[in-house]
Structure formats: structure tokens, C-alpha cells
A and B are shown apart, each in its own frame.
Chain A
Amino acid sequence: MKIGLFIPCYIDAFYPEAGIATLELLEKLGQDVEYPLDQTCCGQPMGNSGCNSDAAAAEALFVRNFAKYDKIVMPSGSCTHHVRDNFDAIPQTDEVRHVRENTYELVEFLHDVLKVDAFPWAEFNHTVGLHNSCGTLRALRTASMSELGEKPFSKPMDLLSKVKGIRFVTPRRPDECCGFGGTFSVTEEAVSARMGVDKVRDHYQAGAEYIVSADSSCVMHQQGCAERAGVPIRFIHIAQILNGAAQ
């Protein structure tokens, strides 16, 4: 199985350590991983703004980069959601369908495809609050959502609980959106920032030292809100913990 690694633009530019951890983790798990150098973006920002035709170039490039792989893995729920559910600015050829059907968010890839049952190298002696992005929670369904009253399950929690030393806390409103929402964070900045501050305070008051998430876009926003409001909480991508992050 040949894996193509997609590193979303904001991880590439602002959170390279999350990308490195993703690559190293997949390598530790014995996977054959390649990162096509000419990648840019999955097209989500244009698609979410309604400017779908403007997503065509990014989507075409994405397919050119990744069509040759058996599986495409990315450390981002929202990009996976875009590729899987909304990637229709270009004609739906067999190649495009192959890419869309074989794209995985990192947690679901580890949990559902590789079925990883141990991370012997990982230890994290901290109290963490898990932030499920709305893309992972309500589109990819990697965890149960409170709206449906379904039997609780959580793929990210299944993975994290295999890490030595880690402790969890649950905020009062675990499923509430943090307010990033792509361009929403700029066009509706006041509401967005307020949602972000409420989110990080909720985790902090629950006793979390770290907010851990599979989505760095939410983290980028939450971190900005926490720093401005002076909420002393740290942020980490789930790949970094599973890869055995430096304490």
C-alpha cells in the first residue's frame, strides 16, 4: 500500500511540527509514505465561500498529485471532509473518484485502516482536553455527537488512551464549535473570536493543560484567542502525542 501524504496549507506554513509528526508516525508504523512536493491546497476555502469554480485549479492539482497512491492521508478533518464530500469543481473522472474514495483523515486511517493497537513510544504526562473539529465530529463521524443521543464512541480517544501517562478532562460543552469556520473567522470575526475564547476557557476551567485536536485550523484560531485573552493553555496536534511528543 503506497500512501500519499497531504499536508494542508496552514500546517505547512504554521504548524510544520504536526506534519512532521504525521509523517514520522506513519513511518514508525511501517508505512510506505510519500509527500508530493508540488501540493498546495485541497480547494476547501474557495468551496466553503461558495466560489466553487475557483476551487477547480486546486482540486485538479490535488488529483494530479495524489491519483497514483492507494491511500491519501492528511492530518486534517476539514480537508478530508472537503475532498470526500464537496470536491466537485472538476469533472468526476475515475481518477477523481479514486482520490475522493481513498482519502483519509489521520485518526480514522490509524483507527479504521491500520487498526493500530499500541503506541509503545508515546508518553504524555499531561492533562488534556480533546477538541473534535466539526468536520471530524459531524461529517467524518470519528466520534459520537451529543445531538443524536447515540452510544458514545470516539476514535481519537481510543487512540489517545493508548498513550502512557495521559489524563483527560471533559469541558462543559465538548461538541460546541470553536468558531473558526474558515473565512467565517474573518468575515464574522467578533462572533468567531468570542466562540474561540469561550472554547479555550471551557477547557481551561475543566483543568486541561493542553487542548489536543486532529485539526490545526481550529487550533490556529483557538491559540490566537487564548493568547490574546491570556488563557494559559497549550495546544498540540494529536499526531504529535501519538508520535511521542517531547514533553
Chain B
Amino acid sequence: MSNKPVNHAKAAEHFLEDAPHLQFHDERLWDMRQKRDAQMHILPEWQELREEASRIKEHTLSRLPEYLEQFEENAKKNGIHVHWARDGAEHNRIVGEILKAHNARNLIKSKSMVTEECDMRPYLAKQGVTVTETDLGERIQQLDDQLPSHIVVPAVHKLTSDVAKIFAKDYHTDPNIRDPHLLAEAQRQAARPVILHADAGMTGGNFVVAETGTFVVCTNEGNADLSATVPNLHIATIGIERLVPRMADLGVFIRLLSRSALGSPITQYTTHFRGPQKGGEMHVVLVDNGRSARLGMEDFWTSLKCIRCGACMNTCPVYRRSGGLSYGAVYSGPIGAIIDPTFNERKYSTLPYASTLNGSCTNVCPVKINIHEQLYKWRRVLVQHHEMPFVKREIMHMAGKLMGQPKLYRAAIKATEVSLSTMPRFVLYNWLNPWGKHRENPHPVKQTFNDWYRKNREKAEPAAAPETKK
């Protein structure tokens, strides 16, 4: 895998060139944000719920090993096989071995961001296993060979016409279909036989309950329930941070999750998995893949509170105008920009800069992750680790020096004024000058405030005060 820093700015520029897609993407996600606001206004206890959810998660994370072991013990009592995966490779190997032991060649699965992290599908394909995504958006992305662009609505960057083209290629439907219902029906017709003949089913897990040894999967399409229950073999891949201690804690999160994500009171299906069905087998693979290391990062460990609702993406004005794929990572948007660098600092060093630090993300987050403050802190870390481009680093170094020297600074201001008023337009607005590409420069002024003050308030003082020595 390439280690080259993701060029978010360039990918975003490309995204912005396509007006119909841009407008749909921005409006669709903004609509989700507004529906979320409406749900918030219905619940007077919204802020208390956020606070409570944050506290439960912080408590759980602070005692993660104990709760994980409690879950393992109780899950085993329920007849669930529990596996531990240190990283993506180990996860894939475990899943591959389970499938092999059952001679399973056809795997149906519902959405799981962890399997994207582990890059599981290509691994299983090499083992001769056919993996079929059953979530509509995820299936569209699978057919189009793209990462999900959003953690809840993975194909939100696509228009109906894009989906019609993809389905026409794979399902031989009419490429000119513009009715989303017809496309959904085409997917249903194509998916049902695959589901009915699958050897194994895979789901993720939204919440894992330590005291009961059970887990909960939330979907809107019911595809996770089909994936988990039609075949006799159910494998659930779950990140180790998805724990809550007690069943009683769950209500707080179930109330927040779908309201924050889509602005609906609850997901259509909220299924508790308590053990294998009669004659079946159930496996849970608990995946670390960098989470323990993140838990040890003083400024960034609270990113593990995330319940993957996508509210930060929906509200992010940068994400809405650049699309999830522009982040070049499994996780996009504000939460992606603070998680991705923990996987690969160099590759994702540009992502904490793909933000204006406006702070909207932090304030919609149902578990109160201080996302924009972590973006700010990541920038400091990246500079310290020499992951900022040299030129940019030098510019800031020079600027910092200049700002400490008032006399030099005054001289520089004069030079800027002269250049703004005398430079020909083509010099100011050439491709070397990003400010001027889509914006006019500020207008030159006759005198700076500093000059004005000297003339109008400091008449007694002829020249600048002498520079104070350090």
C-alpha cells in the first residue's frame, strides 16, 4: 500500500467540479443534519443523554480489559465462540479458518467498517470465498469497487443514475431507470437467491454487552438479520471498543444512535444476538487493530467513544463539499481525520488539515468527542513528527520569526501594500496563488491602522518606539 500522503485538496477540487453530484451530496447530508436537529428538539434530555453516553464510554474504556474478559466469559456460557484478533491480518486469517472448517464458499454480510479496516474481501476472494454485501449502499460500493464514502450511507455520493448504470452492468437492468424503488427491487431480486444459498453470514456489531455476553446489531434494511440467521454459521466482527458494561446502559445509546445518524427515532431493526440458533454456530471476532495503542494516546483516546453514527460527517461543511472518497481512507469526515492518522501517520497526515476547525462536529457528536480539538492537536503532533510538507513548515517558521519583530513586520506590511496596488492582475491571480483562484484579493488601503493611529492619536511621538530587546 502506498505511503504517499493523501491529496485531499486535489480530490476535493475534482469533486467540486461536478455540480449535480455536489449539490445532491451537500443537500442530502444537510437534510440528515436537520432531521437530527428535529429529533434533538423533541427530547428535552438530549444533552443529558450525550453526557451520560460519554461517561459510560469513558468508564468502559478505562476498564476495557476487565469488561472484555467479562464479555468473553459470558459469551462462552451462551455458546458463542470468541476469538481475539490483534490486527487485520489476524482477523482475516481467523475468519478464513472458520469458513474453511465449514467448507463455506459463499459468505453474505451486512455492513461492517471493521472488515473494511481489515481489507477482508480481497483476502477471502483469494481463498475462493465469494463475499456478497447485503446492505444496499454497501453492495453498490462493492459492485463499483469503491470504499464506502460514509459510515452510515456508504453510497451517498452517488445519484440514482449512477446506481442504474452499475446495476445495468451487473444485474442487466435498464440503465435508464430513475426510480429508486425499481433499483431497490432489482437489488432485492438479485440478493435473495444469494442469501438463500449462502453457507455463512457475517455481521458487525454496534454494541457489545459485557454482563450478558450478547451483542446488538442495528440496521434499517433487515439485511443483517437475514445474513445472521439464514445460514447456520454466523460470524460477527467487532471492534474491542464497542463494549458497554450493562444491558441497562444500552438504552442511552439506542436512543442516540439513529437520531444522530439519520434523524429517525430508532433503527428499523435493533437485534440482540444472544447465542447460536439451533444446530448453528456463532463466532465473535474481537478486533484490536490499533485500538489498544490509541487507548494509550493521551490526547486521542476518547476517539474510541465513537458509535459510528456519522453525525459529524453530515454536519461537516468540508465533508459535504468534498465527498468521503476524497479522504482516501476507510474512515472519512471529521472522525476519520482523527482516527486515520493512528493507522498511518504519513499517509493520512493531510487529513487533520482538511478542516476549518469550526467545531460543529464536536457539538453534534452524541458521545461528546472533542473532534475539532483533536484535529488541532493532531496538527501539532504531525509537525513534531515532521509530517508537514517542508515548504509549509518553512513559511510558518519565517512568519513566526517576523511576527516577533515589530520593525521588520512593519516593513513587510508596506511591501505587501505596494505589491497589492502595483502588481498586475495576472501575477496576483496566477496558479501559484491559491487565494486568487476563486477569490479576489483584499483591496489595498491608503494607510494601515498603525499609520492612522500614529497620525491621529500619537502626534507627540514622531517615530516608532524603539524595539524592545529580548
Contacts and interface: CB of A to CB of B under 8 A. Distances in A.
- Of listed A54, A175, A185, A191, residue having the most chain B CB within 10 A: A191
Nearest to B381: A50
B437 A51 contact: no
B292 interface: no
Nearest to A45: B399
A171 to B, nearest CB: 13
Interface stretch (A55-63, A91-99, A102-110, A162-170): A55-63
B401 interface: yes
Contacts of A120: none
Contact of B449 (A16, A134, A184): A16
Given A48-B376, A50-B383, A61 B406 contact: yes
B464 A38 contact: yes
B2 interface: no
B322 A60 contact: no
Given A7-B449, A54-B397, A188-B12, A37 B353 contact: no
Given A13-B417, A50-B382, A191-B9, A173 B453 contact: no
Interface stretch (B75-83, B122-130, B302-310, B438-446): B438-446
A37 B358 CA distance: 31
Contact of B416 (A13, A19, A55, A220): A13
A182 B467 CA distance: 28
Interface in A206-247: 220-221, 223-225, 227-228
Given A149-B41, A193-B437, A55 B400 contact: yes
User: DSSP majority for the B interface?
Assistant: helix
B358 A177 contact: yes
A45 B400 CA distance: 9
Interface string A179-195: 11111111111111111
Contacts of B222: none
A149 B33 CA distance: 12
A191 B321 contact: yes
B404 interface: yes
Nearest to B434: A189
Contacts of B352: 50
A49 interface: yes
A111 interface: no
A11 B406 contact: no
Contacts of B447: 16
A66 B208 CA distance: 54
Nearest to B39: A149
Contact of A180 (B353, B356, B453): B356
A74 to B, nearest CB: 12
B376 A224 contact: no
B317 A186 contact: no
A39 interface: yes
B171 interface: no
A147 B353 contact: no
A20 interface: yes
B307 to A, nearest CB: 17
B363 A147 contact: yes
A188 B383 CA distance: 18
B357 interface: yes
A122 interface: no
Given A38-B465, A54-B397, A193-B439, A134 B409 contact: no
B96 to A, nearest CB: 41
A84 interface: no
Given A50-B388, A196-B439, A134 B357 contact: yes
A193 B438 contact: yes
Interface string A31-75: 000010111110101101111111111101100100000000000
Contact of A227 (B13, B393, B440): B440
Given A16-B452, A50-B388, A179-B317, A186 B434 contact: yes
B403 interface: yes
Contacts of B467: 38
Interface in B362-383: 362-364, 376, 378-383
Contact of B46 (A50, A146, A149): A149
Given A37-B454, A148-B363, A228 B321 contact: no
B328 interface: no
Interface string A7-24: 101111111100110010
B117 interface: no
Contacts of B381: 50
B194 interface: no
A138 B360 contact: yes
Given A134-B358, A191-B13, 9 more contacts: A40-B405, A40-B406, A40-B409, A50-B382, A60-B404, A149-B40, A184-B355, A188-B318, A189-B9
Query: What are the nearest 6 A-B pairs in CB distance?
Result: A57-B404, A50-B379, A181-B356, A54-B400, A224-B439, A193-B438
Interface of B: 8-9, 12-13, 16, 22, 30, 37, 40-41, 46-47, 315, 317-318, 321-322, 352-360, 362-364, 376, 378-383, 388, 392-393, 396-397, 399-406, 409, 413, 416-417, 434-435, 437-443, 445, 447-454, 457-458, 461, 464-465, 467-468, 470
30 contacts: A9-B413, A13-B416, A13-B442, A37-B453, A38-B406, A38-B468, A46-B399, A46-B400, A48-B376, A49-B379, A51-B396, A54-B400, A57-B400, A60-B470, A138-B359, A149-B37, A173-B30, A180-B356, A182-B356, A184-B353, A187-B9, A187-B353, A189-B438, A190-B9, A191-B16, A191-B321, A193-B439, A197-B438, A198-B321, A228-B440
Interface of A: 7, 9-16, 19-20, 23, 35, 37-41, 43, 45-46, 48-58, 60-61, 64, 86, 134, 138-139, 145-149, 173, 175-177, 179-198, 220-221, 223-225, 227-228
